[in-house]
Amino acid sequence: MTSAQLNQRVQTRFPNFPSTEFREELSVTVPLEEIESVCRICRDELGFDFLMDITSVDHFGEEPRFEVVYELYSLKGNIQLRLKTKVSEDKLEVPTVSHLWQTANWHEREIFDMMGIRFANHPDLRRILMWDGYPFFPLRKDFPLEGKDSELPDVAFTHPAPLEGGPFVTLPNSGGTKDREPRARGPE
């Protein structure tokens, strides 16, 4: 299937949803209340049998603040489709698609853990990277780069981690990106 053929099929099936095509990749913006049913249609009718990834984006300062992005793939058609849905900071809940694709289970748990977006009816929605009881969501843009102080000895650092030193930390200077690259520095 070509990108143009996919675009035609999607426009026929979802005429009211805005879509964009960039570099032969089609992205469709779906209202939050319809994302689960659209995912089901994509799987059952359009042949997208593989969920490659689910990610989230924090558009800090905008409303709705968050966006959940589904990367679908058709093994038979050898083509990719991207679905996007906006999530308001007030609601922060998206229907799960783990009953449609098993791979959604861990992706949704990671989004919950890192961004705080809940997935309604998820079979096991708990943190996957941070420990239970961790009160913050590290991938949100308002999370400070230096981390937050913790009063949990033996579980986490008790002071913010330094941002200097180490082989992969860039040094501030007036040069361009190539000059800040750690490998551009000689041995110290």
CATH number, position 73: 3.30.460.80
Burial class (CB in 10 A: 0-12, 13-18, 19+), 68: buried
Element (H, E) at 106: helix 104-115
pLDDT of residue 3: 82
Cis check: omega of the bond before 64, within 30 degrees of 0: yes
Does 79 lie in the same domain as 52? yes
* Residue-level pLDDT, tens digit, the chain, 188 residues: 788 888 888 889 999 999 998 888 899 999 999 999 999 999 999 999 999 999 999 999 999 999 999 999 999 999 999 999 999 999 899 999 999 999 999 999 999 999 999 999 999 999 998 888 888 898 999 887 766 666 665 555 555 555 544 555 556 667 666 666 555 555 55
Q: How many residues does the chain have?
A: 188
Q: Both 154 and 179 in a single domain? A: yes
179 lies in some domain: yes
Could you tell me the residue range of the domain that residue 38 belongs to?
3-132
Whether residue 139 is contained in a domain is answered as no
Domain membership flag for residue 137 = no
pLDDT given for residue 156 in this prediction: 52
The pLDDT assigned to 175 comes to 67
Last residue of a domain, one of 107, 132, 157: 132
Given the DSSP bridges, would you call strands 118-120 and 50-58 parallel, antiparallel or unpaired?
unpaired
pTM, to two decimals: 0.78
pLDDT in the model for residue 169: 56
Does one domain contain both 73 and 152? no
Are 111 and 171 part of one and the same domain? no
The answer on 181 and 94 residing in a single domain is no
Domain membership of residue 186 (yes or no) is yes
Nearest to 41 by CA among 53, 49, 33, 31: 49
Q: Quick one: which H or E segment has residue 95?
A: strand 93-95
Are residues 57 and 126 located together in one domain of the fold? yes
Domain membership flag for residue 138: no
Q: Based on the fold, state whether residues 180 and 149 are members of the same structural domain.
A: yes
Task: Tell me which H or E stretch contains 9.
Answer: helix 3-13
Same domain (yes/no): 91, 155: no
- Could you give the number of structural domains in the chain? 2
**21 and 95 inside one domain:** yes
Q: Please tell me whether residues 178 and 92 are part of one structural domain.
A: no
**Do 150 and 127 have their domain in common?**
no
pLDDT on residue 102: 95
